[in-house]
Amino acid sequence: MLNRSNTREHPRIEPEANSANSGLVSERALSAAGSLRLHWPEYLMEAGEAGVYLFSACAVATLLWHPASPIQQFLASDSVRRMLMGLAMCLTIIAIVLSPWGKQSGAHFNPALTFTFYRLKKVALWDAVFYCTAQLLGAVAGVALASHVLQGAPAHKAVRYAATIPGIYGGALYVDTIAFVAELAISYILMSTILFTSNDEALEPYTHYFAAILIGLYIAFESPLSGMSTNPARTFGPAVCASYWHALWIYFIAPPLGMLAAAEVFLLARGREGPYCAKLHHHNHKRCIFRHSGPPATQRKESDDERMA
């Protein structure tokens, strides 16, 4: 069980929760300039996290798929490469969430995730706008940096900047439809997992592990269908650098829809009670700019245990 020192979070600057009515916020909302002035560190952190995520994706994809890669001869098939890619990205996500930046910003690095938490009233409007903008720009920067460091190797047709591209089987309409449905489904499952685990007293400390493992499994087994994104920024970075705009709409529409659907199911299952916070890792001493609803699950469990003692 976590002790009280582990559940304490840094005092929030804005917005402040209305203690008399959990889940609602004070009427005084920050303007765009105010949000930027107070929360610019979190915006830069989100850009950095998206950049690291895309840099890792490009670097690992180059290592696994480029014909000149020193390990190419040891990889028997695309299935093996996808499993290794999934493992690498799983570890990347865990590292980002547990980093000082991830603990403070919430480690979204995904506009669909941020938008869904905005829908759940955990993220203020201008924070959501700046988060999404930072994530998209950071993704482009990450791919560009990987291309520079690897001397253009990610541009090879075997790598394609680790772009998320619909499957190659069937006609264009069939492929795009399958990719859309697949992105909708995996995004729904991912967001459902994040919401239900992060608000469960036993599973809350392991939320980021569940999310990372899911992404790893998606890359290993789902990517032949949709290219595996669940993240508009993940698709946008390679698309800009590769000038590949085909089917971009799939990855900007399906993930948000899937995650929003998961949020609605979550609210229905909990009698319209929202989640505690928008962070993937709550138990740290970094400040939190999100709106909170009641105590975290582990703190509620501690209170219950104390009353029973």
pLDDT in tens, 33-49: 999 999 999 999 999 99
Nearest to 158 by CA among 72, 90, 86: 72
> Which whole-number Å values give the CA distances from 264 to 117, 228, 261, 270, 272, in the listed order?
11, 23, 5, 10, 9
Identify whether 23 is part of a domain.
no
Share of the chain above pLDDT 70, in %: 84
**Residue 299's pLDDT band (cuts 50, 70, 90):** low
What residues make up the domain containing 72? 33-308
Q: Helix, strand, or coil here: 25?
A: strand
181: tokens are 């449905």
Q: Of the spans 57-61, 243-247, 271-275, 284-288, which averages the highest pLDDT?
A: 57-61
Nearest to 52 by CA among 161, 163, 142: 142
Report the number of distinct structural domains present in the chain: 1
CA-to-CA distance for 15 and 290, rounded, in angstroms?
Answer: 7
57: tokens are 């994706």
164: tokens are 């998320």
Any alpha helices (H) in the chain, and if so which ranges?
4-7, 32-65, 78-98, 100-105, 111-119, 125-149, 172-198, 207-217, 223-226, 232-242, 248-269, 297-308
CA-to-CA distance for 288 and 116, rounded, in angstroms?
Answer: 18
Identify whether 13 is part of a domain.
no
Q: Where on the phi/psi map is residue 109: left (φ > 0), alpha (ψ -120 to 50), or beta?
A: left
pLDDT for 142: 98
Identify whether 3 is part of a domain.
no
Q: What is the CATH number of the domain that holds 154?
A: 1.20.1080.10
Identify whether 136 is part of a domain.
yes
Is-contact 42 126, C-beta < 8 A?
no
Is-contact 223 64, C-beta < 8 A?
no
pLDDT for 3: 41
Identify whether 6 is part of a domain.
no
Identify whether 243 is part of a domain.
yes
Identify whether 2 is part of a domain.
no
Is-contact 298 283, C-beta < 8 A?
yes
Q: What is the pTM of this model?
A: 0.86
Nearest to 212 by CA among 57, 302, 94: 94
**Residue 76's pLDDT band (cuts 50, 70, 90):** confident
Residue 121: CB atoms within 10 Å: 16
C-alpha 183: how far from chain center: 14
The gap between the terminal CA atoms of the chain, to the nearest Å, is: 15
Identify whether 15 is part of a domain.
no
